[in-house]
Amino acid sequence: MAMEIAAIIVAAGRGTRAGGDVPKQWRRLAGRRVADWTLDAFRAHPRVGRVVLVLHPDDLGQAEGFDDVIVATGGATRDASVAAGLRALAGDPPDRVLIHDVARPLVSAAVISRVIDALDGAAGAAPALAVTDALWRGADGTVAGTQDRSGLYRAQTPQGFRYAAILAAHQAHPGGAADDVEVARAAGLDVAIVEGDEANMKITGPGDFARAEALMRDIMDIRTGQGYDVHAFEPGEACILCGVAVPHDKKLKGHSDADVGMHALTDALYGALAEGDIGQHFPPSDAQWKGAASHIFLEHAIALARSRGYELANCDVTLICERPKIGPHAGAMRAELARIMGVDPDRVSVKATTSERLGFTGREEGIASMAIATLVKS
């Protein structure tokens, strides 16, 4: 049975030092709210099963639209809010839990994975960066001395733990802890340090919004590819389109199962990666691909994208034909493509159009398909 991992996003603070008319987690950052970026980092991570969002009582209305997120009401302090998030999972406890500050919206999938991996050998794990600058002690605005920086780290989140252990640690703690590592250590738990990320900054002051946007421009890698495919009709009883058998008096002719929609989408993914097309990865001259199911090609393309650190942001497939009618089957097609690629159906669009009786599609000699796919570095 797979190890289940949940994430708790602590977002109950008021964030007054950041300025603005609303708490910093609801302010705009690169066109979206800070909390939206943070939540998506965990919702998109393939190893995180559930996400808990801990909110201030006045902010519960901000959770509208987060249908796949568990919402909990926070407390007066950070550790009280974390405890509320842990209790929200108690009815169906996960094996492990990641606790993250909502004000760190640039957390990467790599940092999240490093914390998860470290929990295989430790009760707790947290990302951090070694202190490299000289440290001074100050008094009355002047330097009063220096501080040895050996063994000092700048703490980050997410901080990960075995669920049962951190729940017990919070229940036993008197309160007032700076973070969950402090709570864990007070309970005698060892916490492993994993490599953090300079981009995983915490938005604290007014100037941090501009700094975060600049970092996003530097690290955001968005790629778009397009695909096009055509297959002719031949006698048959159904067409395989986007993984769905659509009843028809003809089928599509091809070396594989001739799924013109899935082929176009696969080529769009390869195009976004600058990896050629299906024919280069699965040559039609190779007999092993004769009659092959097209999900093999799509699975290969999405796996190749993930191996390079990309996730699918969205894709759009258009089928061009007079018949069969696509509309009644579009929902099933979206669901099947989403299942194959391991993404939410709301990231997949399938639609159809005709060519107004013009050309080979208008003469019902075959079907054409166009697709666009956008990949984002995770």
Q: DSSP labels for 342-356?
A: TS-GGGEEEEEE--T
Break the chain into its structural domains and give their ranges.
Answer: 5-219, 222-377
Q: Residue-wise over 123-139: b if at least 16 C-beta within 10 A, else e? A: bbbbbbeeeeeeeeeee
HSE on the CB side for 343, CA within 13 Å?
24
Fold (CATH) for 222-377: 60s Ribosomal Protein L30; Chain: A; (3.30.1330)
| For helices 295-307 and 330-341, angle between their N-to-C axes, nearest 10 degrees | 50
Domains 5-219 and 222-377 share a fold: no
In this structure, which amino acid lies at residue 165?
A
In this structure, which amino acid lies at residue 241?
L
Looking at residues 343-355, what average pLDDT do you find?
94
Residue pair 242/333 in contact (Cβ under 8 Å)? The answer is yes
Structure tokens given for 377: 């570095």
Structure tokens given for 87: 């209790």
Superfamily covering domain 5-219:
Spore Coat Polysaccharide Biosynthesis Protein SpsA; Chain A (3.90.550.10)
Query: Shortest CA distance to 51 belongs to which of 38, 33, 34?
Result: 38
Question: Cα torsion for 48, 243, 296, 292, to the nearest 10°?
Answer: 160
Cβ-Cβ contacts under 8 Å for 210 (sequence gap 6 or more):
none
- In this prediction, residue 15 has a pLDDT band, given cuts at 50, 70 and 90, of low
Per-residue pLDDT reduced to its tens digit, 25-72? 999 998 889 999 999 999 989 899 999 999 999 999 888 878 889 999
- In this prediction, residue 376 has a pLDDT band, given cuts at 50, 70 and 90, of confident
Query: Would you state the pLDDT for residue 262?
Result: 97
DSSP string, 213-230: HHHHHHH--EEEEEEEEE
Is 342's pLDDT higher than 80?
Answer: yes
Per-residue pLDDT reduced to its tens digit, 208-234? 999 999 888 777 678 999 999 999 999
As a residue count, the chain comes to 378
Residue pair 160/124 in contact (Cβ under 8 Å)? The answer is yes
- H or E element that contains 340: helix 330-341
- As a whole number, the mean pLDDT across the chain is 93
In this structure, which amino acid lies at residue 16?
T
Query: Would you state the pLDDT for residue 168?
Result: 97
| Cα–Cα distance measured from residue 246 to residue 368, given in angstroms and rounded to the nearest whole number | 15
Question: Cα torsion for 99, 102, 103, 107, to the nearest 10°?
Answer: 60
Q: How many Cβ atoms from other residues are within 10 Å of residue 12's Cβ?
A: 27
Share of the chain above pLDDT 90, in %: 83
| Cα–Cα distance measured from residue 104 to residue 101, given in angstroms and rounded to the nearest whole number | 6
Is 18's pLDDT higher than 90?
Answer: no
Cβ-Cβ contacts under 8 Å for 59 (sequence gap 6 or more):
11, 12, 23, 26
Looking at residues 260-288, what average pLDDT do you find?
93
Identify which has the larger pLDDT, 126 or 1.
126
- Residue 79, classed as helix, strand or coil, is helix
Q: How many Cβ atoms from other residues are within 10 Å of residue 284's Cβ?
A: 12
Is 378's pLDDT higher than 90?
Answer: no
Query: Would you state the pLDDT for residue 183?
Result: 97
Query: Would you state the pLDDT for residue 1?
Result: 44
Query: Shortest CA distance to 34 belongs to which of 23, 50, 42, 20?
Result: 23
